[in-house]
Amino acid sequence: MDQTRAREIARDTAEQAGKTANEAAQRVGEQLQPALDQGKSVVQDLAHRASEAGRQAMDQAGEFIEGVAPQAKQVASNLYDQGSRSGEYVRQYAAQEPFAAMLVAGVIGFALGYLIRGR
């Protein structure tokens, strides 16, 4: 009977230890829950702030692009017009001075050939 009694005592002790451990874990969980809730709240607030900052940056970038687009279009138009006038000027010059135009074209061709061959 001593062995049976020892087993019962060991079983009771193990059950009591298990209950005590469960109660301790529950108390620790209850104590940690407010800190976890606060941490969750802080993370959500930071995420909201980051989202808002990103949204503001996108809005500012959109406004910048909207402001720059008309200017870029005007610059491109001006460059196209200048290129057209330059082409017309070169055509007229070549028609008036064919020998000089051929000489300039030859010098440019020689310079480009020299640069390409040097590589």
Residue 1 has pLDDT above 60, yes or no: no
Compute the distance between CA of residue 6 and CA of residue 54 in angstroms, rounded to an integer: 68
Share of the chain above pLDDT 90, in %: 2
Establish if 35 belongs to a structural domain. Answer: yes
pLDDT tens digits along 36-66:
778 778 888 888 888 888 888 888 888 888 8
Establish if 105 belongs to a structural domain. Answer: no
The number of distinct structural domains making up the chain is: 1
Establish if 116 belongs to a structural domain. Answer: no
Q: Check residue 117 and give its pLDDT.
A: 85
Confidence of residue 119 (pLDDT cuts 50, 70, 90): low
Q: Check residue 95 and give its pLDDT.
A: 86
Establish if 36 belongs to a structural domain. Answer: yes
Establish if 27 belongs to a structural domain. Answer: yes
Establish if 57 belongs to a structural domain. Answer: yes
CB atoms within 10 A of CB 101: 15
Establish if 79 belongs to a structural domain. Answer: yes
User: How far, in Å, are 25, 27, 114 from residue 22 at the CA level?
Assistant: 5, 9, 88
Q: pTM, whole model, 2 decimals?
A: 0.41
Establish if 70 belongs to a structural domain. Answer: yes
pLDDT (average), residues 58-77: 85
Average pLDDT, the chain: 82
Residue 115 has pLDDT above 80, yes or no: yes
Residue 70 has pLDDT above 60, yes or no: yes
